[in-house]
Amino acid sequence: MTATTSTPKSDSKQREHRARPGQASPKLAYLPIIFLAFAIGVPLLIIVIYSFLEKPSQGTGVKWVFTTENYKALFIQQKLDGTTALDTRYIKVLWTSFTYSLITTIVTLILSVPVAMWIATRDARKRNLLVALVTLPFWISILIRTYGMRQIIADEGPIGKFLGIFNIEWSILYAPPATILGLIYVFLPFMILPIYASAERFDFRLAEAAYDLGAKKMTVVRKIILPSIRPGIISGIALVFIPALGSFLQSDMLGGGKTNMVANVIANNFQQARNWPFGSALAVLLIVLTLLFVLIIQGISQRRGDKVELV
C-alpha cells in the first residue's frame, strides 16, 4: 500500500488548470473563432488583394497584374495631355461621409442622453418595457424602415400635407437633409442603449446629495452625471459613427444619388463602372480610416480610465 503526497506547487498548478465556477472551456470558442476568421478575414483579404491588381480591358473582375495605381487614383488625376493633378473628388466624398456621420453622432447623442437617463430612473417593470420599445426598430428590416421614412418625408407625405395647409413648402427628399434624417432615425437606438446601460448603474443619490449641497442643475449634469455615464457615451459614439460612415442605403434611397457617400461610390465601382480594383482600394481606405477612429476612441477612453473595449 502506497501513499501519495502532493506539493504546494503541484496544487497551485492544478488550481490554475481547473476551470472556475461558471467559466466555459476555451475549446467551445474554437469553432466560432474559426467561422468569424473565415467569414470576416477572407473577404477582407480578397479586397486588399484586388486593390493591388489591374482592371481588365473588357468585362468585370480583375487582371492579375500587380499595381499601385488604384491608390494613386484616389488622390491624383491623369489628364488627357499626360499631366497629373490633385484629384479632390474622392476626398470630398470622404469628407461628406465624415460630416454626415459626425452630424448623426452629435444629434443622436443630444437626443439619447435625456432619454436614457429618463428610462434609467423608472421602476424595473417600466424600464423593461421602455427598453423593449427602444429595440422595437430592430425587429423590422432596415430596408422597410428606410422606405417608410421616405414615405413620411416625401413631398406628398404626412408632413408635406400638414405643412401645405399653412402654405409652407416642404421638399427635403433626395437632398442632404433627408440622408442625415435617415441616418439619425436608423442609428438612434445604437446610442440610447449603451448610454442607458451606464445610466442604469449610476447611483442617483449622488445627484441628490449635490442638489442638497447647493449645486445647480447643469453643474450636477456636467460634473457628476456625464462623467459617470461616459463609458456608455463613448461606446454609443463608436456604435453610431463607424457604421454611419459606411452607410449605403440611406444616401441611396433618401438622397436619390445626389448625396453620394463613400459606400455609394464603392458600390458604383463594383456595379456600373465595373472597376473592382479601384472600388477595393477605396474600400481599404475606408477600413483604414475606420480603424484609426477606433484606435483614437480607444486611446481617449484608456487615458480617461474608462472601461471601454472596442478592439
* pLDDT by position in tens, the chain (length 311): 455 555 555 555 555 555 566 566 777 788 888 998 899 899 999 999 999 999 988 878 888 999 999 999 899 887 777 778 888 889 999 999 999 999 999 999 999 999 999 999 888 889 999 999 999 988 888 989 999 889 888 888 888 888 888 888 888 888 889 999 999 999 999 999 999 999 888 877 888 888 888 888 888 888 888 888 888 999 999 999 999 998 988 988 888 777 789 999 999 999 888 899 999 999 999 999 989 888 888 887 777 666 555 54
pLDDT for res 9: 52
The CATH superfamily label for domain 89-303 reads MetI-like (1.10.3720.10)
pLDDT for res 308: 56
Residue 61: phi and psi, rounded to 5, are 100, -155
pLDDT for res 52: 94
CB within 8 A of 234, min separation 6: which ones? 297, 300, 301, 306, 308
Instruction: Return the C-alpha cell found at 125.
Output: 417593470
**Which helix or strand (DSSP H or E) is residue 48 part of?**
helix 42-51
Distance CA 278, CA 264 (A): 13
pLDDT for res 311: 47
Show me where the domains of the chain are located: 28-85, 89-303
- pTM here is 0.83
pLDDT for res 105: 95
pLDDT for res 307: 58
Specify which residues 168 forms β-bridges with: none
Distances (CA, A) of 115 to 69, 109, 121, 127, 199: 49, 10, 10, 11, 10
CB within 8 A of 240, min separation 6: which ones? 101, 104, 105, 108, 109, 187, 190, 191
